[in-house]
Amino acid sequence: MATLELFFRFAGLSQLLVLAIVLIKDHCDKIGGVLIAIWALSGACYLAVVPVFRDWHWVAWSYIFLIGSLAWPVLFWLVAKSLFDDGFRLRWHHLAVLVSVVVVSLVSGAPAFRSGFGAILVEPSEIIVPQTLALVFIILALVVVLKDWRDDLVESRRRLRFVLLVATGLYALIIGLAVLVLLSTPDLVEIQILDTIHVGIIFLLCLGASVGLYSVHSQFIAATIVQAPAEESPPEDFTPVIAELNRLVHEQHVYCETGLTIGGLAERMSQKEYKLRRIINGEFGYRNFNDFLNQHRVSEAARRLVAPETRHLPVLTIALDVGYASLGPFNRAFKELLQMTPTEYRASPLSGAGIAPASDRCVEPFDDEQSS
């Protein structure tokens, strides 16, 4: 094994182990912290698996390294969801996907794993399936990073999206090249060069993640793992902007416009988009613009479902009137906020005691003590 590749592997491995220890020590009670720690340990297995299989005899405990390394791409996808999807909950089907990918990768790559990764592969297709599955879940993680980027109101998390987009995109490119090289049945020298580059990029990504975590530890944790309700509000006086936002929301019901974006709202208010994001996040506690819209839309829909002048209207009509393009998203948002469907809400004798009116959350600035 090339000396440079060996250095990259164990340097990256040490960074991942330190990262896992820090997160387990300080944030083992948060789903994001636990997932990132497990992902870091899985990455450490991935970096260790080649030296273990090449230089040591195959033993039963070696499966720990192998299974950990094969789980890495799926864990990365789950980490991305925990960081950027505020409604993420770890479900049984996530575990089923993880187990399925590991089993399929083990079965399809069994001949290559038994012969050791250092051997010249007679059939490169033996590890094409694990590599392809890795590429698929890295792309899925990229989709998660890109999804709702424009509507994300947490500035530090928006910056993290950009960093992960660049880093993951680069890594996906390397994995894609690895698949192409294996399909073209190159010689061992080409495989080793590509592997050294691959491991070197992993080391740099691990180093960047560690430096980023240690340098802005509290901000990173608050914005992602802990999912604090809001970032600290800037010192600028936003009173006029807040007054204009309240006017648009409560007098003009701007949230009822289908397809409303934060960019469109900022343009209507003649404000910079970043400033409006800071206000909605820092003053009112919303982490995502869609959450802001759903709160107001569902609150208005709940009122119309039981109001004498509108309770005769079909649920679909009310959903369209408050800004939803179809019934499905409206039902999901309504049930998430009220724990019942619109039809159940309309029939419930306690319908008048549903969610607090959206105005209660928009007129007054967000209160951290109340949120806790």
Q: Give the CATH fold of the 3-225 domain.
A: Rhopdopsin 7-helix transmembrane proteins (1.20.1070)
pLDDT score at 8: 78
Question: pLDDT per residue over 53-103, tens digit each?
Answer: 555 555 666 777 888 888 988 998 998 888 888 878 888 999 999 999 999
Question: pLDDT per residue over 310-363, tens digit each?
Answer: 888 999 999 999 999 999 999 999 998 888 899 899 887 655 554 544 444 443
Question: pLDDT per residue over 37-52, tens digit each?
Answer: 898 888 888 777 765 5
Question: pLDDT per residue over 88-101, tens digit each?
Answer: 888 899 999 999 99
Q: Which residue has the higher pLDDT, 122 or 169?
A: 169
% of the chain exceeding 90 in pLDDT: 17
pLDDT score at 256: 92
pLDDT score at 177: 67
End-to-end CA distance of the chain: 53
Q: Hey, is 211 helix, strand or coil?
A: helix
- 367 token code pair: 């209160």
Question: pLDDT per residue over 247-274, tens digit each?
Answer: 999 889 999 999 899 999 999 998 888 8
The correct CATH number of 239-371 out of 1.10.10.60, 3.30.420.40, 3.40.50.720, 3.40.50.1970 is 1.10.10.60
- Strand ranges, E, within the chain: none
- Asked whether 320 and 301 are in contact (CB, 8 A), the reply is no
- 3 token code pair: 């000396």
Q: How far is residue 264 CA from its own chain's centroid?
A: 25
Q: Which residue has the higher pLDDT, 32 or 144?
A: 144
Question: pLDDT per residue over 199-218, tens digit each?
Answer: 777 777 776 666 655 544 44
Q: What ranges do the domains of the chain cover?
A: 3-225, 239-371
